[in-house]
């Protein structure tokens, strides 16, 4: 549960920092893996939606990892917040044996795999952290002087 809550906290801080930029700057191609900050934020939402669909059978199922689901930042942020609540709700409903349950899924290349839910959730949260790091670097490139600290330790502090 801690990682689900941390994930929402870190995403909120990242989106808060992103409001310092214009729409043009957020969408500017900075040669990042998903081209721009907006592309990176869209990818994070897409990936979470894909994984939640795989493990719950519910919700949107984007077809491509680089799909732009929202062109406008306010709508993207609203969807991110809703997806973070969805993740928290899902994880909070799990019992210890649920984490061992094996999930069979097909990836975006059409390959079939099976992994325990605990491994999938670890990947989901680790994937978020990976791309938030990229997004923080993009913020810095675009002139946000001090992107927010997103370390788990800051979340865990009483003032986090």
Binding annotation for a divalent metal cation: 43, 127, 131
Task: Identify the burial level of 41 via C-beta atoms within 10 angstroms of its C-beta, where 0-12 means exposed, 13-18 middle and 19 or more buried.
Answer: buried
Give the count of alpha carbons within 13 A of 35, CB side only: 13
∠ CA 143-148-150, nearest 5°, is 135
Is residue 104 helix, strand or coil? strand
- Whether the Cβ atoms of residue 113 and residue 130 lie closer than 8 Å to each other: no
Q: Which residues are annotated as a binding site?
A: 43, 127, 131
Task: Identify the burial level of 26 via C-beta atoms within 10 angstroms of its C-beta, where 0-12 means exposed, 13-18 middle and 19 or more buried.
Answer: buried
């Amino acid at each position: 549960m801690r990682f689900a809550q941390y994930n929402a906290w870190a995403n909120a801080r990242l989106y808060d920092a992103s409001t310092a930029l214009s729409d043009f700057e957020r969408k500017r191609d900075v040669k990042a893996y998903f081209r721009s900050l907006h592309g990176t934020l869209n990818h994070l939402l897409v990936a979470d939606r894909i994984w939640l669909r795989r493990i719950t059978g519910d919700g949107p199922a984007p077809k491509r990892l680089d799909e732009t689901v929202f062109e406008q930042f306010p709508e993207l942020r609203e969807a991110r917040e809703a997806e973070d609540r969805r993740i928290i709700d899902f994880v909070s409903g799990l019992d210890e044996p649920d984490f061992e349950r094996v999930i069979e899924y097909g990836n975006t290349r059409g390959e079939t795999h099976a992994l325990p839910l605990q491994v999938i959730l670890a990947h989901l949260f680790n994937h978020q952290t990976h791309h938030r790091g990229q997004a923080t670097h993009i913020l810095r490139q675009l002139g946000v002087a001090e992107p927010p600290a997103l370390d788990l330790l800051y979340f865990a502090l009483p003032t986090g």
